[in-house]
Amino acid sequence: MKLDAVMDIQTSSRSELVDITDRVRAIVKESRTENGLCVISTRHTTCGIIINENERGLKKDILGMLEALIPEDRSYAHNQIDHNAHSHLRAVLLGTSESIPIEGGHLILGTWQSIFFVELDGPRNRTVNVKIIGS
Ligand code: ZN
C-alpha cells in the first residue's frame, strides 16, 4: 500500500504553529495501512515540520526561542535580494520533515506529541506532503 496526499494550509500570522496531527491521522486511516511509515514533509524554504506538545505557552516559547536565536533585525546577506533571511534561517533549525512509524493502523506518537507545521514567513497558502509506505 502506498499513498500520497497533499494538505493545504492557510496560515494567518507571520509566525505560527499549526497542529496538523488530526489531518495526518485521517490520511493514515484512509490509507488503511497497518504497518509502515508516514513521512510528513514540506517543499517550502521558510517553514518547518516539528513534533512537540500542543500547549499554548510552549508554542509561544518555541517562537520566542527562534526570535532570540535568529533576530529579524540583524544584517543578513540574503536580505540583499529578499527580506526574509531570518525566516529561512529559522527553517534550517527546524527541518522540513518528520517520519513517524505506523503500527496497528495508528501513528506511533506519545500522549503529549503533536505534529506541527511551523509558519515562519506568513501569512500564506502552504502545502504539506504526506507519504505513506507500508502494508
Ligand atoms: Zn528568501
Helix (H) / strand (E) element for 57: namely helix 56-69
Give the per-residue pLDDT at 1. Answer: 56
Helix (H) / strand (E) element for 66: namely helix 56-69
pLDDT digit string (tens) for 77-107?
999 999 999 999 999 999 999 999 999 999 9
Give the per-residue pLDDT at 54. Answer: 98
pLDDT digit string (tens) for 54-84?
999 999 999 999 999 999 999 999 999 999 9
> What's the CA gap between 90 and 14, in Å, rounded?
13
> What's the CA gap between 135 and 127, in Å, rounded?
26
pLDDT digit string (tens) for 12-31?
999 999 999 999 999 999 99
Ligand 1 centre from 47 Cα, in Å?
Answer: 11
Ligand 1 centre from 113 Cα, in Å?
Answer: 30
Ligand 1 centre from 79 Cα, in Å?
Answer: 7
Ligand 1 centre from 101 Cα, in Å?
Answer: 33
pLDDT digit string (tens) for 27-60?
999 999 999 999 999 999 999 999 999 999 999 9
What single-letter amino acid sits at 72? E
Give the per-residue pLDDT at 2. Answer: 62
Give the per-residue pLDDT at 63. Answer: 98
Domain 2-134 has CATH 2.60.120.10: no
Here the cell at position 77 is 546577506
Give the per-residue pLDDT at 83. Answer: 94
Ligand 1 centre from 80 Cα, in Å?
Answer: 10
Which residues crowd ion ligand 1, with CB under 5 Å? 82, 84
| Full-model pTM | 0.96
